[in-house]
A and B are shown apart, each in its own frame.
Chain A
Amino acid sequence: MKFILSSVASCSNRIGYIKDIERLPGLMLETPMLLLYAKEYFTFCSIHDPAVATPYGFNDKNTISIWPRNGRKQLDPDKYMDMIEAFQPDMYQALCDGDTDLKSSKKRIHKSIDKSLMFFEKCLERHEKSEVLKKSAILGVVEGGYSIEGREKSAKYLADFPVFGYVIDGLHKNGPDVENLTFEDVREILEESLKHLPNEKFRILHGCWNPGTVLSMVELGIDAFDSSYPYTVTERGGALIFQNCINNLNIPSSATDALNAAEPVTDIELKPETSISAQSSSEPPEKKKISTQEASHAEEDKYVVSKTQGHTTESQSSRLNKIYELSLLDEKYAEDFTPLSRSCSCLTCQKHTRAYIHHLLQTHELLGPVLLTIHNLHHYMEFFKSIREAIKSNSLESLKRCVNERNDVS
């Protein structure tokens, strides 16, 4: 398996390709990518489910704990590698102790680094000896919690090993609360982790990051994310409607569609950046009102580039989420016979209405989450297509703006 990059600047956005996958020759995957690639069931094995909060603690000197259905299990590198050899995934991460977050003590952080390095060496040893894993790629796991020195130590150590790439770990303990972390919370340690890693290697970052944060992380040099975010949105009856590409001018749905953001309506007219984008829309750009546009950007900056260190408050993050999704459980959709999104080509939007989905969710019918999942995954994968196109055409800034603008299509 090979990872080929077309740009090599440190800590910046990248376009890449994974190809020559031994089990799936002829398949080529472009990055940045969502670890749910439709084409051919490329498999990646992580340790925990990023959509589910991992209980913390329960680690000892030689093992970490995982939480299958029938109760806690302890894994050491040998047990772990036995499982990996049985699964034979196309790509997998080494066993690691990522049980750190914003609040972790220095002691915990250093333990996690040292243990993870020890695990890594053992896993790599098993990997290199293994017959059945000859076609699989192993990833090193960078730890260090929120300690700059820790990150430096972990990344520098791993940088010399012959791995396919890296998982940047230890920023959180999975689950839907990850949405509450802002990019500013993690920027410094991400930068630190990445700057010591070889540029040409593949980087994954797990977690339920919102689209704005994902874009910022792409800018920093992350190549792959997982689908825990669209999954989490579905679980709460949400439908993603953020603008997931640069071109699409928002088409207002109907007069009754109120804005979802907690902010009062301001006089924004959305305008795509037509000058930079290679694929320009045929419609002329709308005239903007300069003063309100500046005001809206100031608001935006508050969300996207938060100056506050540390945690985002509940209300800030729920307002943030309102930019990206509709809450289909809300009564106001009971008689809304329009699709989730007029510009979406997924089955749900082509064939079903908000009113129907609202009804299904209210009555706890399985079809509700089914239809939402179809839409949310589709929408999110289209988002990743847009990311790749934006990088190629040097218009990531425009995409960022489009994604974070409050969506008048609600």
Chain B
Amino acid sequence: MGTLKGLLPDQLEALGCQIMLGNTYHLGTRPGPSVIMKAGGLHKFMNWNRALLTDSGGFQMVSLLKLAEITEEGVKFQSPYNGSEVMLTPERSIEIQNSIGADIIMQLDDVVRTTTTGPRVEEAMLRTTRWLDRCLGAHQNAATQSIFPIVQGGLSKALRTESVKQLIQRDVPGFAIGGLSGGESKNDFWKMVHLTTDLLPEDKPRYLMGVGFAVDLVVCCALGVDMFDCVFPTRTARFGCALTCSGQLNLKQKKYAKDFQPIDEGCDCSTCERYTRAYLHTIVTVEPVACHLLSVHNIAYQLRLMLSIRESIEQQRFPEFVCKFMANIYTNKEYPQWIVDALAAVNIHLDPADPTAEN
């Protein structure tokens, strides 16, 4: 929407945010590509001087609009604003993304629900490759905007493998993994991520779309993912939830009415510097500023998590970091099986008896 839940670009910079995601469907509608172009691109329109990434606009249409019809041509849907028929083609998606001017743009993909089975999944995967080529053909700004293809294939090993095989034949600067983070079981989820990252080239970034719970982030980093996006930190802020290393705090709960600690003693964000849980308890879901204050904290938390991951990798102690992280969340050491399995697949062993899991 051209903003992050009321935070000033200055605040985001101060929090260490390097890149923001802009939503092509929403921005393409309001204010529209013409206004953004006149402003000189989305960076200038928002006055954000760091990086921007736009999605293709396809996901919103499939998820928000019930009347979307997908054909080889593109995605046809009814405009919610005036009821007229709109067709989003790969070419049009790239055209809008070119005018928005983000640093990284996404191909329009044919995305299916993870719970879909049957020939539709293969159709979508193959069509995604064809649409990639159309997107590449339509892309006007290869020098200034990097386009990422999106690996599809649902929960099928064979289809995912084929998708990667086709996409890596194109000359692209990075890859996105799509079609996960929906309703699939965690067991299926991690296996597809693992399979895909094993197949993708090592020297190009891998962007797992729509993944953002802290635990998922840590596991997927272990599995070889480099980039993520998620609305979770800001969405949950709206409902009064704050993220901490030991889990979520629902500040609406009465038990915080007289809790005069900050959300997290160890957090240096502006919210934790000045406000107590008790104060936040009185304003969450009531005053708009509560959303703002919690968003600041949750974003700080999320970015700090990614920073710790990076630091632990650089300092060759990533496995220890993961074990400690999991132990903080699952204090009784009852780790969900999928996490144990996923980490074991990359040689990180969560074991209650494991000394490295001790704090």
Q: Are A337 and B292 in contact (CB under 8 A)?
A: no
Q: Mark B65-86, 1 if CB is under 8 A from A, else 0.
A: 0000000000000000000000
The CA-CA distance from A347 to B288 in the complex, in Å, is: 20
Which of A168-176, A248-256, A265-273, A359-367 lines the interface with chain B?
A359-367
Kindly state whether residue A103 has any CB partner on chain B within 8 Å: no
Tell me the A152-203 residues at the B interface (CB within 8 Å).
none
Give B154 Cβ to nearest chain A Cβ, in Å.
33
Q: Are A367 and B31 in contact (CB under 8 A)?
A: no
Q: Are A356 and B6 in contact (CB under 8 A)?
A: no
Q: Are A356 and B5 in contact (CB under 8 A)?
A: no
Residues on the A chain within 8 Å of B35, using CB: 334-335, 355, 359
Q: Are B8 and A367 in contact (CB under 8 A)?
A: yes
Give A254 Cβ to nearest chain B Cβ, in Å.
13
Residue on A nearest B287 in the bound complex, by CB = A69
Q: Are A370 and B2 in contact (CB under 8 A)?
A: no
Give A232 Cβ to nearest chain B Cβ, in Å.
16
Q: Using a Cβ cutoff of 8 Å, how many contacts connect chains A and B?
A: 59
Give A49 Cβ to nearest chain B Cβ, in Å.
12
Cβ-defined partner of B30 (8 Å) among A351, A356, A359 = A359
Residues on the B chain within 8 Å of A352, using CB: 47
Q: Interface extent on B, as a size class?
A: 20 to 34
Kindly state whether residue A369 has any CB partner on chain B within 8 Å: yes
Residues on the B chain within 8 Å of A369, using CB: 288
Q: Are A337 and B3 in contact (CB under 8 A)?
A: no
Residues on the B chain within 8 Å of A360, using CB: 2-3
The CA-CA distance from A335 to B37 in the complex, in Å, is: 10
Kindly state whether residue B195 has any CB partner on chain A within 8 Å: no
Residue on B nearest A337 in the bound complex, by CB = B39
Q: Mark A338-373, 1 if CB is under 8 A from B, else 0.
A: 000000000100011101101110110111011100
Kindly state whether residue B165 has any CB partner on chain A within 8 Å: no
Residues on the A chain within 8 Å of B61, using CB: none
Q: Are B7 and A367 in contact (CB under 8 A)?
A: yes
Residues on the A chain within 8 Å of B30, using CB: 359, 362-363
Kindly state whether residue B291 has any CB partner on chain A within 8 Å: yes
Give A164 Cβ to nearest chain B Cβ, in Å.
28
Q: Mark B32-72, 1 if CB is under 8 A from A, else 0.
A: 00010011000001110000000000000000000000000
Kindly state whether residue B9 has any CB partner on chain A within 8 Å: yes
Q: Are B45 and A365 in contact (CB under 8 A)?
A: no
Residues on the A chain within 8 Å of B26, using CB: 363
The CA-CA distance from A365 to B5 in the complex, in Å, is: 7
The CA-CA distance from A356 to B35 in the complex, in Å, is: 10
Secondary structure type dominating chain A contacts: helix
Q: Are B2 and A356 in contact (CB under 8 A)?
A: yes
Give A344 Cβ to nearest chain B Cβ, in Å.
16
Q: Are B2 and A365 in contact (CB under 8 A)?
A: yes
Cβ-defined partner of B10 (8 Å) among A337, A347, A353 = A347
The CA-CA distance from A335 to B26 in the complex, in Å, is: 17
The CA-CA distance from A355 to B6 in the complex, in Å, is: 17
Residues on the A chain within 8 Å of B39, using CB: 337, 353, 355-356
Kindly state whether residue B172 has any CB partner on chain A within 8 Å: no
Q: Are A365 and B6 in contact (CB under 8 A)?
A: yes
Kindly state whether residue B286 has any CB partner on chain A within 8 Å: yes
Tell me the B62-118 residues at the A interface (CB within 8 Å).
none
Q: A347-B10, A362-B30 are in contact. Are A355 and B45 (CB under 8 A)?
A: yes
Give A142 Cβ to nearest chain B Cβ, in Å.
32
Residues on the B chain within 8 Å of A337, using CB: 38-39
The CA-CA distance from A351 to B46 in the complex, in Å, is: 9
Tell me the A279-321 residues at the B interface (CB within 8 Å).
none
Q: A347-B10, A365-B6, A370-B292 are in contact. Are A356 and B45 (CB under 8 A)?
A: yes
Kindly state whether residue B1 has any CB partner on chain A within 8 Å: yes
Residues on the B chain within 8 Å of A363, using CB: 1-2, 26, 30
The CA-CA distance from A337 to B31 in the complex, in Å, is: 13
Q: Are B9 and A366 in contact (CB under 8 A)?
A: no
Residue on A nearest B7 in the bound complex, by CB = A367
Residue on B nearest A367 in the bound complex, by CB = B3
List 22 contacting pairs A-B, 8 Å CB cutoff, sorted by A: A334-B31, A347-B8, A347-B10, A351-B10, A351-B47, A356-B2, A356-B39, A356-B47, A359-B2, A359-B35, A359-B45, A362-B30, A362-B31, A363-B1, A363-B2, A363-B30, A365-B1, A365-B6, A367-B3, A367-B5, A367-B8, A371-B8
Contacts from B to A (Cβ < 8 Å): 1-10, 26, 30-31, 35, 38-39, 45-47, 286, 288, 291-292
Leading 8 A-B pairs by shortest Cβ distance = A366-B6, A367-B3, A359-B31, A365-B3, A367-B6, A351-B47, A370-B6, A363-B1
